[in-house]
């Protein structure tokens, strides 16, 4: 691959769209180029469940006609990958399982809005079964490999989307986040992972599918830069008439915030996880270094912990388990699920609907109580993970109880924002000595995504990261085991 090719591959969403609008590359040329790269890299990385080559080329041709007719398209011809729990018309949504319920009849609201903005849907990406763990591995689809380090996890559950973006197979991707599932793989793969305020992006699926995760589930974006993540978010933003959960605030134009320097902010830093697990020095250090950078930029940094009551943690567990039970119950052949998920499903059925409804009823009160200690702060900064990306197979052979203990020991910082609904994002903070990306987690005030994105863009401007790329365009065969 030439340097020019590499520059196009890693140009990002905004730049690729501009190249198309300037007629330096056509949508069909761009899609064909990335389809070739997917064919080259995906046999090793295993990011895609299905590649929609023929459909993507046809859609690129339609985008060309729309541009010729004078339409203004913010995502003009940009190829985008979609996580395989989000509906794309004519394609199955298998949610990481081996159960094919057939192609869905229509796009999800988010995918429909991406197409309206000129994006080309190039394929659907892997996740673990129902996104239930923060690693992208399943008995049906195997291991999705991290382009930075093939033997480390991509994170999850949007691991396929993250691997596809990190390797330059697509400039951006749609992910979903029910407890950190956009932010965790972004951290593991050296990307920006943005989850907006609950309700800013509709989670509405096709008529034959409906989520019952009680507002924990958010749709988010994975990209190489803050502006790219914001551009994708803005393209998908908007409510639908029958949304499960709506937002009390309209989605702001986050791309406007990228170019707007933040005022002097008070930033709280915290290393207190929501469950008592060790937090390694490897993930503390990037937070402390970023805190010093923030001080040098004129911001005030204070050490301050949120204080989520135990009832809030139990409420999150109740909502997640009740949602999982409903997802399993809609399947025609649940016996085909992996053994651990079947066991979790039996536990999930012990959480009745009335208990989930009670957890919802107490959400605002518990959220306000948990955030009260940092109410005078503009942004909260924590690690994304409690330890660096773990080796693949981290949960191999474990039953549900031991697996859950390992999951909580890995990702104790990201679930609260799915309960409170706050905007949050993972941003890169460097690469460790052993070649693994580092990251920090930024959380905005409820309904304030603009300050969050503005601060992230400022950090990106003084500590650029989009030029960092995985070590090779071609990858050796992964280690066995």
Domain assignment present for 193: yes
What is the reported pTM? 0.96
* Active-site pick, 83, 195, 426, 454: 83
Domain assignment present for 211: yes
3-state helix/strand/coil string of the chain: CCHHHHHHHCCCHHHHHHHHHCCCCCHHHHHHHHHHHHHHHHHHHCCEEEECHHHHHHHHHHHHHHHHCCCCCCCCCCEEEEECCCCCCCCCCCCCCCCCCCCCCCCCHHHHHHHHCCCEEEEEECCCHHHCCCCCEECCCEECEECCEEEEECCCCCHHHHHHHHCCCCCEEEEEECCCCCHHHHHHHCCEEEECCCCCECCCCCCCCCCCCCCCCEEEEEECCHHHHHHHHHHHCECCCCCCCCCCCCCCCHHHHHCCCCCCCEEEECCCCCCCCCCCHHHHHHHHHHHHHHHHCCCEEEECCCCCCHHHHHHHHHHHHHHHHHHHHCCCCHHHCCHHHHHHHHHHCCCCHHHHHHHHHCHHHHHHHHHHHHCCCCEEEECCCCCCCCECCCCCCCCHHHHHHHHHHHCCCCCHHHHHCCCEEEEEEEECCCCCEEEEEEEECCCCHHHHHHHHHHHHHHCCCCCCCCCCCCCCCCCCC
CB 83 within 8 A of CB 125: yes
CA atoms of 5 and 22, how far apart (whole Å) = 18
pLDDT digits (tens, 9 = 90+) for 152-185: 999 999 999 999 999 999 999 999 999 999 999 9
Residue 211 has pLDDT above 90, yes or no: no
In the predicted model, what is the mean pLDDT of residues 342-351?
93
* Active-site pick, 138, 157, 206, 225: 157
Domain assignment present for 250: yes
Domain assignment present for 185: yes
CA atoms of 99 and 130, how far apart (whole Å) = 11
Domain assignment present for 481: no
Residue 473 has pLDDT above 80, yes or no: no
In the predicted model, what is the mean pLDDT of residues 412-421?
96
Mean pLDDT across the chain: 94
CB 109 within 8 A of CB 130: no
* Active-site pick, 158, 161, 181, 450: 181
Q: Domain limits at 254?
A: 3-474
Domain assignment present for 479: no
Contacts of 28 (CB under 8 A, 6+ apart): 57, 60, 61, 64
In the predicted model, what is the mean pLDDT of residues 277-289?
98
In the predicted model, what is the mean pLDDT of residues 345-366?
93
CA atoms of 474 and 225, how far apart (whole Å) = 23
Percent of the chain's residues with pLDDT above 70: 96
Give the pLDDT confidence score for residue 243 in this predicted structure.
87
Catalytic-residue membership of 280: no
Residue 210 has pLDDT above 70, yes or no: no
Residue 3 has pLDDT above 80, yes or no: no
Catalytic-residue membership of 181: yes
Specify the range with the lowest mean pLDDT, choosing from 11-25, 62-76, 142-156, 306-320.
306-320
Other residues' Cβ atoms within 10 Å of the Cβ of residue 74: 18
CA atoms of 184 and 414, how far apart (whole Å) = 8
CATH of the domain at 79: 3.90.1300.10
CB 440 within 8 A of CB 151: no
Best CA proximity match to 275, nearest among 302, 303, 312: 312
Give the pLDDT confidence score for residue 382 in this predicted structure.
98
How many residues in total does the chain contain?
481
Domain assignment present for 300: yes
Specify the range with the lowest mean pLDDT, choosing from 174-188, 235-249, 275-289.
235-249
Domain count for the chain, please give it: 1
CA atoms of 3 and 308, how far apart (whole Å) = 49
Give the pLDDT confidence score for residue 213 in this predicted structure.
78
Q: How confident is the model at residue 475 (pLDDT cuts 50, 70, 90)?
A: low
Domain assignment present for 231: yes
Take residue 19 and report the two structure tokens written for it.
């190249």
């Amino acid at each position: 691959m030439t340097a020019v090719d590499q520059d196009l591959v890693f140009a990002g969403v905004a730049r690729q769209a501009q190249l198309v609008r300037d007629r330096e590359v056509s949508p069909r040329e761009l899609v064909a180029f990335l389809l070739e790269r997917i064919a080259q890299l995906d046999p090793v990385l295993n990011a895609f469940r299905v590649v929609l080559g023929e459909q993507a080329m046809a859609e690129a041709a339609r985008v060309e006609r729309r541009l010729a007719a004078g339409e203004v398209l913010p995502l003009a011809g940009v190829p985008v990958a979609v996580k395989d729990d989000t509906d794309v018309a004519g394609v199955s949504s298998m949610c990481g399982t081996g159960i094919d319920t057939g192609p869905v009849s229509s796009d999800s609201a988010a995918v429909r809005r991406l197409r309206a903005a000129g994006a080309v849907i190039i394929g659907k990406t892997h996740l673990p079964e129902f996104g239930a763990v923060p690693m992208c591995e399943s008995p049906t689809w195997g291991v999705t490999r991290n382009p930075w380090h093939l033997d480390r996890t991509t994170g999850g559950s949007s691991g396929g989307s993250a691997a596809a973006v990190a390797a330059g197979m697509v400039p951006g991707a749609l992910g979903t986040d029910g407890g950190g599932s956009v932010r965790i793989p972004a951290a593991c793969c050296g990307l920006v992972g943005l989850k907006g305020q609950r309700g800013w992006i509709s989670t509405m699926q096709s008529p034959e599918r409906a989520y019952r995760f009680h507002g924990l589930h958010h749709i988010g974006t994975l990209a190489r830069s803050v502006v790219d993540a914001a551009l994708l978010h803005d393209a998908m933003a908007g409510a639908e008439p029958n949304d499960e959960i709506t937002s009390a605030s309209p989605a702001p134009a986050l791309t406007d915030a990228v170019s707007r320097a933040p005022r002097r902010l008070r930033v709280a830093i915290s290393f207190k996880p929501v469950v008592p697990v060790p937090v390694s020095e490897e993930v503390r250090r990037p937070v402390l270094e970023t805190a010093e950078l923030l001080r040098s930029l004129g911001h005030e940094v204070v050490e301050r912990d949120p204080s989520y009551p135990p009832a809030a943690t139990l409420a999150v567990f109740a909502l997640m388990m009740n949602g999982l039970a409903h997802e399993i119950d809609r399947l025609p052949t649940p016996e085909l699920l992996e053994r651990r998920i079947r066991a979790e499903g039996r536990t999930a059925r012990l959480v009745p609907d009335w208990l989930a409804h009670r957890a919802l009823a107490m959400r605002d009160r518990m959220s306000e109580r948990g955030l009260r200690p940092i109410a005078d702060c503009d942004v909260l900064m924590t690690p994304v993970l409690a330890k660096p990306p773990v080796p693949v197979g981290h949960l191999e052979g474990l039953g549900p109880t031991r697996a859950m203990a390992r999951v909580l020991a890995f990702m104790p910082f990201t679930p609260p924002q799915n309960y409170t609904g706050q905007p949050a994002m993972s941003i890169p903070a460097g690469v460790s000595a052993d070649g693994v990306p580092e990251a920090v987690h930024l959380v905005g005030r409820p309904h304030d995504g603009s300050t969050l994105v503005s601060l992230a863009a400022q950090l990106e401007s003084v500590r650029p990261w989009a030029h960092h790329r995985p070590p090779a365009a071609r990858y050796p065969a992964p280690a066995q085991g």
